[in-house]
Structure 1
Amino acid sequence: MLFLGLSIVLSVLLLLNFRVFPRYDVNTFQAIVFNYPVCFLTGLLLLPAGQSFSIDFSQTWTWLAFGLGVGFILTFLLSGASTQRMGITATSLANNLSLVIPVCFSLFIFKAGGKTFDALNYLGLVMAVIAVGLSTYKKEAPVAKSDLPTTSTSRRLGANVLLPVAVFLFYGATNTMINYMNIHYIPSADRTIQVTLTMVLGAIVAGLLMLVIRLIQGKETFQSRNLIGAVTLGVPNFLSFYTLLLALSAFGSNGAFVYPLYNIGVIVLAALVAALFFREQLSTANKIGLALAILAIGLISWQELAALV
């Protein structure tokens, strides 16, 4: 339970970084790009004794892991934008409820769900989707006719609302791809750290390429404080994933049990942090969405939770 708790705290710390970056004038894009080299160095330091990192481009999983790295940085950029524009609670809900997507793929496409779903499990999946919609709902304050937003402003507001939805879809897609790799290309646990570092390497290449292009175009100006943001982001980024792997190992790789508890923990802790430190106001619809999210994840894994009683 210690590793699981640490993973939950570290995951919320990632969202906390995104939330405070604007306050200290840290460029979120550059912090995300430079956070991946920090992740890579952190991973190298945590390599077990006698192991070294190597990469084999003749292996199919290497290219898949590289592709996942690109997906990771795109998802991270979306998560950063969503946290700053829509809040910690909405983004954490969209992130954690994305487990619906890999669960559905495991059940209906990969045929490797690990258990037989019943009516309550399916009800949980439906409720999870509804929870995403409710938790991201923002009611616009009434304005005078003279203050009505322009067409461009309305479009910008609509785009902001879509950010948590994009986070939901991208996180779901990357997690689904990880499941696919586990089924077909990563049969042994000792390859996990190698695959993780390869994914991070893919994110490094994609991120630096995007940064160079933006620097050439004159859209970015490098500032040293962004490196500090990269460290505060990169260390918990890697450790959150690493401690989650340790938690899975401690519970006999029972992902159907660990992931729901992890997701519930992140959702609840993120909501508490947002309310206490950032005074994020939740509407009635948002609160219903939060309650539905917890209930949905509980229904998806009620068999595993009942086994603990």
Structure 2
Amino acid sequence: MTALLFSILASTVIFVVFKLYPKFNINTLQAIVINYVVACCCGLYFQQTDFRVVEIPQNIWFPYTLILGVLFITVFLLMAITTQRSGLSVVSVATKMSVVIPIIFGLIYYKEHLGILKFLGILLALIAVYLASIKKQEGLKIKPKNLIFPVLVFLGSGIIDTTIKFLEGEFVAKDDTPLFSATIFFAAAIIGIVTLIFKAFRGKFQFEFKNVVGGIFLGIPNYFSIYFLVQALRSNIFESSGVFTINNVAIVLTSTFLGILLFREKLLPKNWLGIVLAVIGIVLIASEKY
């Protein structure tokens, strides 16, 4: 349970950092790239067993980390496009609703138990995520030509969570979790650096040190959000379908309350309904465990 709580806390800190970027005019792309470098360094620092860099590609999970690294930064870019074209609420719903993909994977591949309480809890949690994420009275508005972007964000986010679950269960040794995470972030960082170099050649790159600071403050909680999520999946306190559901819904809850306390965000009645349903959903899922 401790690992799950720390994963939720780290992910919530990421939310706060992102909310502060516009206030300090942080270039999000530059900060994201620095964030991946910092997260990679955290993984290498916390790796307790000895390793040689040249031997990392020999690990069976190595090719998958490269794919995950590509997905990490690709999904980020898709999120940026979706935000620009359809709004932040659409991105929030797409990323959080993607939890259905690892849930279905866990139920089918690992044959996880799905009792009535767990089913109702997951269903209420999904409804809660939608209601709590919509901050406009009129709900979501997506032009047909822009629909592909939130769909890709949904699929990409779900595939990332599912792949992490599969790899940690099948290939990644417990002591190699930091190194596994570091390799994912390294792959994402390389792609991000190449993107920045390309922008520099086109004359669209302007370096500012504050972007490095923004990346550092993002990279540390980003690493721990992945590290503790993997530890939570291994804790066996809940099955993976329960871990992913509680993790995503709790992040929405804590982020919403922090939005009220720190950024004076106003909630609509449906947002409060979403919060109530989220709490009920978590209680139902936890109840079936015991």
Shorter-chain TM-score above 0.5: yes
In 2: Cα distance, 1:205 partner to 1:255 partner: 34
The one-letter amino acid paired with 2:260 is A
Count of aligned positions: 285
CA 1:171–1:300 in 2, change beyond 3 Å: closer, same or farther? farther
Does residue 174 of structure 1 match 2:160?
yes
In 2: Cα distance, 1:21 partner to 1:170 partner: 24
In 2: Cα distance, 1:293 partner to 1:167 partner: 22
CA 1:136–1:248 in 2, change beyond 3 Å: closer, same or farther? closer
How far did 1:303 drift? 1.3
The equivalent residue for 1:130 is: 127
In 1: Cα distance, 2:270 partner to 2:180 partner: 40
The equivalent residue for 1:107 is: 107
| 2:36/2:219 contact within 8 Å kept | yes
The equivalent residue for 2:215 is: 230
How far did 1:258 drift? 4.8
TM-score (norm 2): 0.80
How far did 1:273 drift? 0.5
- Tell me the alpha carbon deviations over residues 22-75 of structure 1, each in whole angstroms, 9 at most, x when there is no partner: 110110111001111111111121111534555544555311111101112233
| 1:98/1:171 contact within 8 Å kept | yes
Does residue 116 of structure 1 match 2:113?
yes
The equivalent residue for 1:15 is: 15
- Tell me the alpha carbon deviations over residues 121-166 of structure 1, each in whole angstroms, 9 at most, x when there is no partner: 333444444334433432359xxxxxxxxxxxx878x96x998776
In 1: Cα distance, 2:272 partner to 2:94 partner: 14
Which ranges in structure 1 are unaligned for 5 or more consecutive residues? 142-153
SS in 2 for 1:179: helix
In 1: Cα distance, 2:91 partner to 2:137 partner: 17
CA 1:302–1:200 in 2, change beyond 3 Å: closer, same or farther? same
The equivalent residue for 1:193 is: 178
| 1:18/1:83 contact within 8 Å kept | no
How far did 1:177 drift? 1.6
- Tell me the alpha carbon deviations over residues 234-282 of structure 1, each in whole angstroms, 9 at most, x when there is no partner: 1111123234444555x45745465454444322221110011112222
Q: After the TM superposition, list the runs of 4 or more consecutive aligned residues in structure 1 that deviate by more than 6 angstroms.
A: 80-84, 90-93, 161-165
The CA RMSD over aligned residues, in Å, is 3.5
SS in 1 for 2:29: helix
Structure number with higher helix proportion? 2
In 2: Cα distance, 1:245 partner to 1:31 partner: 24
SS in 2 for 1:231: helix
CA 1:252–1:301 in 2, change beyond 3 Å: closer, same or farther? closer
In 2: Cα distance, 1:287 partner to 1:274 partner: 13
CA 1:106–1:2 in 2, change beyond 3 Å: closer, same or farther? closer
CA 1:173–1:209 in 2, change beyond 3 Å: closer, same or farther? same
In 1: Cα distance, 2:116 partner to 2:239 partner: 20
In 1: Cα distance, 2:266 partner to 2:82 partner: 16
Does residue 271 of structure 1 match 2:273?
no
In 2: Cα distance, 1:155 partner to 1:248 partner: 34
| 1:18/1:80 contact within 8 Å kept | no
| 1:93/1:267 contact within 8 Å kept | no
Aligned pairs for 1:64-143 within 5 A: 64-77=64-77, 86=88, 95-108=95-108, 110=109, 112-113=110-111, 115-137=112-134, 138-140=136-138
How far did 1:178 drift? 1.7
Aligned pairs for 1:27-38 within 5 A: 27-38=27-38
TM-score (norm 1): 0.76
- The structure number with the bigger radius of gyration is 1
